[in-house]
């Protein structure tokens, strides 16, 4: 289902079913990777996780590793699909733009009552920066994980220095992934962002919310023009409000 206004229902389609499946595939497989990553450490028995009904297997390293590999296959496939699908369709709405860092600081200031938010496109500047940061973290996780997997399954005699480097990179990216995920959830808890939560599940947001907070995006959907003054104002957040396919695509709240 393409982005469109459902006037009678008072909703706007923000994400298609395919984008939501893609999002949840990454999110759920990522959570399984985090859990099994911890289980591969000697913590499940130590902290009585194995006593929780259904998690008796968590104390077995080989079982946890096998589930970790299975989840990583889903995770990598979903991430690759995300890049290829949105890349082919030229969906660049989540790609960071010049001025996003400064605009993000200004937006954060508005959360504390200092100033007003500028008009936004489909995605906020901090969402674009978060997407780029998460992309780097995920790339590090995948590349270092592939090295470790190759060593375990194909070449046990792989260079110790390479394996050690991959292990440290994987562990560091693992911690960054957890922090980024926590920040992602924390951002949705903030009152101005709460209306976006429903789009993760239904693909839609309220029409009144979209018109108020994402006027640059809505101006394209509804075929309206904000005029030069408002367009200039958007420079603090989403200056080139975008035309054509800009602002579409990449999944995320």
Residue 99 belongs to some domain of the structure: yes
Percent of the residues in the chain that have a pLDDT greater than 70, as a whole number: 88
Residue 80 has pLDDT above 80, yes or no: yes
Strand order of the sheet with strand 11-13?
Answer: 5-6, 11-13, 204-206
Identify the CATH number of the domain in which residue 21 sits: 1.20.950.20
pLDDT confidence tier of residue 224, bands split at 50, 70 and 90? low
Q: Which of 244, 251, 241, 253 is nearest to 97 (CA)?
A: 241
Q: Kindly report the pTM of this predicted structure.
A: 0.82
Instruction: Give per-residue pLDDT as tens, 16-45.
Output: 999 999 999 999 999 999 999 999 888 898
CB atoms within 10 A of CB 101: 11
- Domain assignment present for residue 154? The answer is yes
Instruction: Note the pLDDT of residue 107.
Output: 83
Asked if the structure places residue 38 within a domain, the reply is: yes
246 occurs within a structural domain: no
- Dist. CA 92–CA 113, nearest whole Å: 31
> Judging by beta carbons within 10 Å of its beta carbon (0-12, 13-18, 19+), is residue 93 exposed, middle or buried?
buried
Would you say residue 248 lies in a domain? no
Of 203, 244, 210, 232, nearest to 99 (Cα)? 232
Number of domains in the chain: 1
Residue 252 lies in a domain: no
């Amino acid at each position: 289902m393409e982005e469109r206004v459902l006037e009678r229902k008072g909703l706007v389609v923000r994400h298609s079913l395919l984008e939501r499946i893609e999002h949840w595939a990454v999110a759920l497989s990522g959570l399984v990777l985090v859990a099994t990553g911890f289980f591969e450490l000697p913590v499940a028995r130590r902290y009585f996780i194995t006593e929780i009904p259904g998690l008796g297997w968590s104390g077995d390293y080989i079982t946890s590793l096998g589930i970790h590999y299975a989840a990583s296959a889903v995770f990598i496939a979903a991430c690759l699909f995300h890049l290829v699908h949105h890349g082919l369709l030229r969906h660049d709405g989540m790609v960071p733009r010049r001025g996003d860092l400064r605009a993000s600081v200004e937006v954060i200031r508005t959360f504390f009552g200092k100033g007003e938010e500028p008009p936004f496109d489909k995605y906020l500047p901090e969402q674009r920066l978060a997407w780029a940061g998460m992309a780097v973290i995920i790339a590090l996780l995948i590349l270092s994980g592939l090295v470790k997997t190759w060593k375990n399954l194909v070449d046990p005699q792989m260079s110790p220095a390479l394996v050690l480097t991959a292990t440290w990179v994987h562990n560091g990216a693992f911690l960054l992934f957890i922090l980024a995920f926590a920040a992602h959830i924390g951002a949705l808890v903030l009152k101005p962002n709460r209306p976006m939560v429903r789009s993760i599940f239904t693909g839609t947001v309220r029409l009144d919310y979209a018109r108020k907070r994402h006027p640059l995006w809505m101006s394209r959907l509804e075929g309206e023009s904000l005029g030069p003054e408002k367009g200039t104002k958007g420079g603090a957040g989403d200056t080139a409000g975008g035309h054509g396919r800009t602002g579409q695509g990449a999944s995320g709240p």
